[in-house]
Amino acid sequence: MIGNLKPLEILLIIAVIVLLFGAKKLPEMARSLGKSARILKSEAKAMKKDGEADAAAAPAGDTTAPQQAAPRTIQAAPGDVTSSRPVSEPNRTAQG
C-alpha cells in the first residue's frame, strides 16, 4: 500500500498529521516513542539474559540447593535511576 503513494499524497498525509497534533507536540511524541523503544529493547535483553543465566545456573540433577538472587530493578529508561523501583518476585522453592 505504501508503495502506491505518490509524493503529493505523502506530503498531504504529513500536513494533516501536523495540523492534528500541532508542530510543538510532534518532537515530544517522537522522543517518547524513542524512549519507549529503548525501554522495550533493554527489557527484552534483560529477559534474555535472565533466561540464559537461569539455564546455565541450574545444573540438570541439582534441585536441592535454593539459590539466593539479588533483587532486580526495573528502570524507566537506560541510565535513569530516579524512576527505578525494586521488583518483588515470588520466592521459588524446590518441590519434589
Residue 26 pLDDT: 83
For residue 94, being part of any structural domain is answered with no
pTM equals 0.40
pLDDT per residue over 49-74, tens digit each? Answer: 888 877 776 665 555 555 666 666 66
Q: What is the mean pLDDT of the chain?
A: 75
Question: Cα angle at 77 between 75 and 81, to 5 degrees?
Answer: 55
Domain containing residue 42: 23-54
C-alpha cell recorded at residue 79: 541510565
Query: What three-state secondary structure class fits 74?
Result: strand
Task: State the Cα–Cα distance between residues 74 and 84, nearest whole angstrom.
Answer: 6
Residue 87 has pLDDT above 80, yes or no: no
Q: What is the pLDDT averaged over residues 34-60?
A: 85
For residue 13, being part of any structural domain is answered with no
For residue 41, being part of any structural domain is answered with yes
For residue 40, being part of any structural domain is answered with yes
Q: What is the pLDDT averaged over residues 66-92?
A: 61
